[in-house]
Amino acid sequence: MAVKERSAYRNVGQGIVRLDGEEKVKGLAQYADDVPVPDAWYGEVVRSPVARGRLRALHLDPSFDFDRVCVVTPKDIPGKNIVDLMGQDMPFIAFDDIQYRGEPVALVAAPTRELAREAAAHIKPEIEKLPSIETIREVVDKYLNGHPDDLHEMAAQTIVKGNISDGFAAADKIVVGEYWAGHQEQLYIEPQGMVAIPEDDGGVFIQGSLQCPYYIAPELIVTLNLPLEKIRVKQTAVGGAFGGKEEFPTLIAGYCALLALKCRKPVKIIYDRHQDILYTTKRHPVWTRQRTGVKKDGTITAMEVDFVLDGGAYTTLSPVVLYRGILHTTLGYRCPHVFVNGKVFRTNTFPNGAFRGFGAPQAIWGLESHMDEVAAAIGMDPEEFRLKNALHLGDATGTGQIISEPMGTPDVLIKTLEQSRFSDKRALNTRGRPRDGKYHGIGLSFFGHGSGFTGDGESRLKSKAALDLEYFENGKAGVNIRISSTEMGQGTMTIMPQICADGLRIKIDQVRCPFPDTKYVPDSGPTVASRTAMVVGGTVFGAAEKMRKALEEFASSSLFGGEIVELDEDQFTGAISGKSRSFQEVATAYLKQHGNLRVYNQFKLPDTIKWNQKTFEGDAYPSYSWGCNVAEIEIDALTLELKTTKVTCYFDIGRLINPVLAKGQVEGGLIQALGYAVMEKMDIKDGLYDASRMQTYVVPTALDIPDFDIHFIEYPYGHVAPGAKGVGEMPMDGLAPAIANAVVGALGVRINDLPITPEKIFRALESRREMAITA
């Protein structure tokens, strides 16, 4: 399918001001805690104080008057006591096994938050304590040292290409590296929040801060024992999500709904920040070991990867995080022999879940640190080594997917190297000898990011979009976009009208994209996986073309005496008469004559996409975005404080829909990646995250940001117009290894464990000094 030339677009490609911006700068946007809900009760969760055990009893303190409150225990659940996510292994409310500290044992609602908390404090679980495993270090220790029976494997997947032993046999050198990273908290500024309102027909209306309305509604069917049409879900304004509001909101929505259906009152739960950090999902901690065979001339002959994720207590989405992770452990490079062994194991901590990048940042952290190590081992420059092995048009990935249309590999790499003057600056690396009281280093990373669902996921999902031609409340005719894609700051509410207006060829002020409500919108799939602009955008564009044709036909027969009519630049024009009527005139005539017009469209992957979900062979993603990061750093020789001074990058995200919003995504993602790389530290203490408040979980502020030099190169996705690929996740992928590689340049030692804190730099320098003394 041909992609239109850029000139065909009026709104796509323009940095128009975000359409939900005005209400945001006026303080009028209504987030979950701002929506007025008369007579709402407040919900609280009673939680397990131990990480693993067996629940023996639940004691309600007789001195407390429980008649004033509503308590929900497993016996009050109308359906099955499970959270309908992958594995179906997580109960909504624990009734026997306890698998993590903080696991719910009861729910409480009361007319005030204070009373709900007081009631919760008077419910005491009696738990027989059992031994627990709480960290990725314990998992890997057991995995590598012959105690696999102590571990609970939640998911496993391999990727096999060629024959790995042949690959190693052909190598002149084999290089091994291990890389670790800990938890990362999404830290959206608006904490999780949800309200459930019981409906007269026995159903429930759920509103709140969420990414995926069509996760919550179908997932609660089993638990609430209600049909889908009686579980209505509507999104409020969302104050950031980053994956943290992908699968988790089903839990808080379920707590509210269970309480609301029992006490017949609206029930609201807004987590405070401490609760939000302790009892919501995090990025999966990882251990990855890369073993690469390479020839003296730099040709990669074999890539063998172990990739282990800490899944937390229950399966949730971990298998899919694993899949995206392993698919990115070798991505970007030509290699005939690949073996990737991925596993997720249980730990007794809150289930880990979706976070911007979804396994890819963990994989690319290992891969791109390792590529520098491989280059160094054969005495090659890191840029030269990458240029030699980077995928070109016609090359195959680790799953055998052929790069079949022009993409940003290796273009982003070439351009970033030039723009940053990488090779010149690399010569100035201090390699452990400070200059003017500082260590200086420059580092590189190059990476791809799969756009859309893994494999043939988009074929199974059949993303739908609808457009409604109807009257707006201002009396004008206009088009409402009905999709389940959510605005969470990234710009859905702005880019969709841009795309729709261009598909219809009308002015954008006649198009709107309201908050999704499952009562009105079809399932366009979740707002995840860098798929919204590409897949849902393409589906909306197709729907807009259909609506344009329908209106052209109507205009022709009703207003133009049957001649051929074309809608362009907001005007319907007769091919013969040359006379014109505006979109408003024709749309109003249509509405008067026929009433509202709804048009549907559905996304379809091209038939050429072939994927084997069992063997992980074939076309792993519909397309790929590409990026390259060059980081320049300084480390104070006295305090060992690391400052990232400059980041240069090129990104290929396909067709740019809105350059201002796209750049905002990149800047924000890079800063979140900066936090992951050097600041955001979270360990487990007594089964809980030790950094459980904003005071202790430190994220970048305005004082921490580097100079940015950000560029885009457009290689549009050819299958659907307008040809966007993903932008949301990719900025998270590559900065940590670029900084780690810069640290090697600055200090001459590698740190293989994120985040790279001054303490770790100190230890790395000390161990090098000790090695120098003993040598």
Partner 1 sequence: MKKITRTWIINGESRSVETPPARRLLDVLRENLDLKGTKEGCGEGECGACTVMINGEIAVSCLLAAGQVKDGAEILTVEGLERTEGGRLVQKSYLDKGAAQCGFCIPGMLVSTYAFLRKHPEINEETIKDAHAGNICRCTGYVKIIEAVQAAAERWPANEGGPS
Residues that bind partner 1 (CB under 8 A): 15, 17-18, 20-22, 24-31, 33-34, 186-191, 237-242, 272-274, 488-491, 660-661, 663-664, 667-672, 693-695, 699-703, 705, 708
Q: Which is nearer to partner 1, 15 or 87 (CB)?
A: 15
In the complex, what is the shortest distance from the CB of residue 694 to partner 1, in angstroms, rounded to a whole number?
4
CB 89 to partner 1: min, Å: 31
Q: How far is the CB of 709 from partner 1 (least distance, A)?
A: 11
Query: Nearest distance from residue 266's CB to partner 1, in Å?
Result: 16
Task: Report the 10 Å Cβ neighbour count for 574.
Answer: 19
Tell me whether residue 31 or residue 95 sits nearer to partner 1 (CB atom). 31
Judged by beta carbon, residue 274 or residue 431, the one nearer partner 1 is: 274
3-state class (DSSP) for residue 28: coil
The torsion defined by the Cα of 425, 427, 429 and 433, in degrees rounded to 10, comes to: -140
Nearest CA to 649 out of 728, 727, 714, 710 is that of 710
Return d(Cα 250, Cα 26) in angstroms, integer.
30
Alpha carbon 41 to its chain centroid, in Å, reads 32
CB of 695 to partner 1, least distance (A): 6
Location of structure tokens 């004033």? 68
Q: Whole-angstrom Cα distance, residue 387 to residue 409?
A: 10
The closest of 266, 248, 246 to 256, measured between CA atoms, is 266
What 3-state class would DSSP assign to 270?
Answer: strand
Residue (567 or 673) nearer to partner 1, CB: 673
Pseudo-torsion of CA 390, 343, 653, 713, nearest 10°?
Answer: -20
- H/E/C letters for each residue in 504-572? HCCCHHHEECCCCECCCCCCCCCCCCCCHHHHHHHHHHHHHHHHHHHHHHHHHHHHCCCCCEEEECCEE
CB 449 to partner 1: min, Å: 18
Min. distance of Cβ 680 from partner 1 in angstroms?
11
Distance (Å, rounded) from C-alpha 707 to C-alpha 506? 39
CB 382 → partner 1: shortest distance, Å? 26
Contact of 350 with 282, CB cutoff 8 Å: yes
Establish whether the linkage from the previous residue to 716 is cis, with ω within 30° of 0. Answer: no
**Closer residue to partner 1 in complex, CB, 48/211:** 211
Which of 609, 699 has the CB closer to partner 1? 699
Cβ distance to partner 1 smaller for residue 15 or 748:
15
- Smallest gap from Cβ 237 to partner 1, in A, equals 7
Nearest to 104 by CA among 62, 151, 71, 152: 71
CA distance 474 to 580: 24
CB of residue 483 to partner 1, shortest distance in Å: 19
Those residues with Cβ within 8 angstroms of residue 537's Cβ, 6 or more apart along the chain or in another chain: 495, 496, 499, 657, 720, 722, 724
Cβ-based nearer residue to partner 1, 113 or 512: 113
Q: Which CB sits closer to partner 1, 170 or 694? A: 694
Tokens 């929040």 found at = 193
Distance CA 532, CA 485 (A): 7
Q: According to the 3-state scheme, what is the secondary structure of 148-186?
A: HHHCCEEEEEEEEECCHHHHHHCCCEEEEEEEEECCCCC
Identity of the residue, 22 or 405, whose beta carbon is nearer to partner 1 in the bound complex: 22
Structure tokens at 606: 């091209």
Least distance (Å) between residue 386 CB and partner 1: 26
| Residue 758 backbone phi and psi in degrees, to 5 | -55, -35
CB of 133 to partner 1, least distance (A): 31
Dist. CA 443–CA 435, nearest whole Å? 18
- Minimum gap (Å) between residue 36 Cβ and partner 1: 9
Q: How far is the CB of 415 from partner 1 (least distance, A)?
A: 21
The Cα 446–Cα 754 span in angstroms is 18
- Closer residue to partner 1, CB minimum distance, 79 or 664: 664
**Between 27 and 578, CB nearer to partner 1:** 27
DSSP state, residue 474: T
Strands 337-346 and 300-312: parallel
Judged by CB, which is closer to partner 1: 489, or 526?
Answer: 489
How far apart CA 619 and CA 220 sit, in angstroms, is: 33
How far the first Cα of the chain sits from its last, in Å, is 64
Between 51 and 212, CB nearer to partner 1: 212
- Dihedral of the CA atoms 37, 39, 40, 46 (nearest 10)? 180
